[in-house]
Structure 1
Amino acid sequence: MSEEGAPRIDGLTIAKLARGVRLREDAARGQTILLAPERALALDEIAVEIVKALDGVRTLDEIAAEFAQQFGAPKEEILNDMIVFIHDFASRRMLELSR
């Protein structure tokens, strides 16, 4: 466990959208948004790719390896960026985490 009892987030973490959270296209604004009860967040292209990859089956390490191959970037750098993203969105209760 990390600070304040929050689950540790690392390459072995498995994440998926929390119950009631949905990824939606906002055609009027030309954005993709993450809708949750009583809140919405506009996502950039990178965030959209990450959210789409969070299937509740693959680990962050597996997803980072796939992105590294797909985008020709270092896997560890991608994983570190994903961990920051996952931590932020999990703290907003938009993601469910498991091992």
Structure 2
Amino acid sequence: MSLSAYDRIPHIRRGFRLQWEPVQDCHVLLYPEGMITLNASAGEILLQVDGRRDTAAIIAELERRYPDIPGVAADILAFLEIAHAQLWIEFQQAGA
């Protein structure tokens, strides 16, 4: 059975760590070979990626926080696909 994009549970990949970097004034992803500087939107999305909530729950939370921004769901889905392609995050099935 294939999961929809909304049913997948994203988690930050092992070896990566999300943190606030005061010197850079932004969130960054740290990994053994370096650091990825994130823009504000990417940081907000990855802050929601806790390995417990599915994509639908993350979208619902960010739509609640930012009700005046159109297209939030599409932007989140697109970012998560990019983050997955870049190997920053992985997806798992509920209950896996």
TM-score scaled by length of structure 1: 0.78
**In the alignment, which of 33, 40, 43 is matched to residue 45 of structure 1?**
40
User: Percent identity among equivalent residues?
Assistant: 24
- Cα offset for 1:60? 0.7
Which runs of 5 or more structure 2 residues have no equivalent in the other structure? none
**Which structure 1 residue ranges, 5 or more long, are not aligned?**
1-6
Change (3 A) 1:8 1:87: farther
Give the structure-2-normalised TM-score. Answer: 0.80
Secondary structure of 1:15's counterpart equals strand
Structure 1 vs Structure 2 CA RMSD: 2.2
- Name whichever structure is richer in strand by fraction: 1
Q: CA deviation at 1:94?
A: 1.0
Distance 1:12 1:33, change over 3 A: same
